[in-house]
Structure 1
Amino acid sequence: MAKQALLLVNLGSPASTQVADVRRYLNQFLMDPNVIDLPWPLRRLLVSLILARRPAQSAHAYSSIWWPEGSPLVVLSQRLKEAVEQSWQCGVVDLAMRYGEPSIERVLLRLAGQGVEDVVFAPLYPQFAQSTTTTAVEEARRVVRRHGLTLRLQVLPPFYDEPLYLQALADSARPYLEQGYDHLLLSFHGLPERHIERSDPSGKHCLKNPDCCQRACGEVLASCYRAQCMRTAEGLARAAGLEAGRWSVGFQSRLGRAKWIEPYTESRLDELAAAGVEKLLVMCPAFVADCIETLEEIGDRGRERFLAAGGKELVLVPCLNDHPAWVRALTELVSRVPRES
C-alpha cells in the first residue's frame, strides 16, 4: 500500500511583526492573481502603491494580537495539526501555509523525501473561493509539476454544509450562546463582487437578483462563495437552535474601492447598535483558526465601532481552532476523501 500523508493548509502569516516581514508577506499574498485578478502590470502597480503605506499599518495591527509563541493563526493551526495526529491513523500529518512559512513547496518536498506517495490535501477553508481554495490547490499542483514529484493529491472539497462541521461550530459556540445575548452576527470574509460573478459557470445567476443565493444549486452553488456562506449560516442556526431574528450575516475585510459582497459587517455593527442591540456575539465561520481578521478586525476595531454606535458589549466567539468537536469532525472529513488505487 502506498505511503500516505495528510497535509492541512491554511492561509499563512508574516514571519514576525517587523515591517519588512509584513511587506514581504503582503507582496506574496497580493501578487497572487487569484487574490487581485488584474493583468500583471496593473497588479504590480497597484500592489506597489499598497505596499507604500500598508505594511506599517498592518505591522501595528499584527503587533496588537501577536502571541509570545508567534502568529496566532500559525500557532493555532499547529495545535490543530497535533490534535489531528492523535486520531488520523492513515499516515503522517503535516501543516503548510499558502503564503509565508511553512510553505506548501517546502512541506511537499519534505513529504516526498519521506517516501510519501498519496497526499490528502486539506485546505482549511469551509467555503470555496478562488482566492483561498483554488490558489492553494494550484500551488500544490505547481510544486508537483516543477519538481517532477510522484505525489498523488486527493483534495478535501469545501465542507460548508457538512453536518459534522456545522455541529462543531454549534458545539464551540454553545458556552457563549448559553450566557445570554441580544443578537449573533455571523461575519464571513468578504470578496469583490466580480470574483463571485467570474466564478458563476452559467454567467447569468450570481448577483442577478436579490435571492440568487437562496436559489443557487448544482454547479452554481459549488462555485459560489456567497451562497455557500449563506448555507453555512442557515445550517449553523439549525444546529445551534438559533431563534429567527436573533442572528444575521455580514461580510468583512473590504480592500480597495471595488464593490464587495454585502451586507458589510461594518454596516451591520452600526445598524444593530442603532436597533437597540446591547450585547452582540460575533462568530467568523469562514475562518477555522483565529487570526488578524478575527482578533484585531472584529475583536478590537469591530468592538470599538459597535460601542461607538451605542452598543454595550461585543463578545468575539473564538474560531474552531483545536476544539475537540472540530478535531473529530476534520478527522472524519479527511478520512472520507477518496484515495487513488
Structure 2
Amino acid sequence: MTSMMIPSGSFRFPAARSVPDLLLRRMRLAWREARPVVQIIFLLRFAAGAALGAAGSAYGAVNRPALLEAALGWLAATWAVYLLNGIADVVEDRANGQVRPIARGELSRRSASTIVGALSVAALVFAAAVSTTQLLLTAAMLGVGWAYSLGPWPLKANLGGFVAAVTALGMLTYLAGWSAAGGGRVTEPVFLFGLMMSLWMGLGGSTKDLADAKGDRLAGRKTLPVLLGDGPARAVMAVAAGSVGSVFAVLCAVRGSVVLPAAVVVLAGSAVLSGTVLTSLSRGARSAQRRPYRVFMVTQYCAHIALFGCLGLTSPL
C-alpha cells in the first residue's frame, strides 16, 4: 500500500477551546446582550447620584474604596437585569430581527441564566460590603428587574408596568449613587434631577416600541403602538417627552436649581424627539423608526455631562 505523505504544517486539527476562553467568550456575548450603551448610562446615573450626594453631604470626604465597590456592585446588578431581559425577550427579538447574541443563538439561554445568577450574587456581595442601605437598594433593583421581565404578570407586558418599572430602575440608581457617596440628607437637586431623569427614562424610553411593534404584538405586550396604533402612539410620545422637558426646566428655573443647565438640555432634547417622532424622519425602515429612541439616549448622555459641568467637577469623587 502506497503511503500518503502529508507535508508538515499543511493540516492542523482545530484546537479545542479552553474553559477560560469559553467563559470569556460567553461573558463578552453577555455584555453585548446587556447593551453596553445602556450599561454606561446607568453608570452615569449612579455617578450623578454620587456627585449630587457628595455635594450636599455633611459627612466630609467620600470613602472612595466604598464608592468603587458600590459602583462595581451596581454595574453587576444592571448587567444582570438587562441580560435577564434578553433571555425573556427572545421571542420578540427574533420577530423584530434583533441581532443580539441570544436572539441569534450565539449565547444560549442556559448560559445566560448562569451568568445572571453569578452577577446577581456578585452585586449583593459588593453591596453588603458597603452598607445595609446599599444592599437593600441593590436587592430592590434586582427585584424590579425580575418583575419587569418574568413572573406570571411581567411589568413589561403593559404600558403602566413598563413606565413604573423603568422609572423605578432609574430612581433606585440615583439613590444608590447618593447612598454610596455618604447617604446624607436627600437634597432638592438629588431628588429633582433623579426624579425627572427617571421619568424621562419611563416616558421617553417608550419610543423604542415604535420599531418593535411586530414582536410586541406577537408576544402579547400592550405597548403604545400596539394599543393605539402608530400615529396616535407617536402623538402621545411627543406630548409625554415635551411634558418632562418643560416641567423639568420650569421647576429648575423657579427653584433656582443648580441642575438648571441639565434641565435645559432635556428640554431641547424633548423638542428634537417630538419633532423626530412626528415627522417622516422616523418612518419607514427599522433604523429610521429607532431615531426617536436614539434622540432619547443622546439627550440622557448630554444631560448627565451637563450636570457634571454644573457641579464644576469639584465634588470629592
Fold similarity call, TM over 0.5: no
Between Structure 1 and Structure 2, which shows a larger proportion of helix residues? 2
Between Structure 1 and Structure 2, which shows a larger proportion of strand residues? 1
Structure with higher Rg: it is 2
What TM-score does the superposition give when structure 2 sets the normalisation length?
0.31
What TM-score does the superposition give when structure 1 sets the normalisation length?
0.29
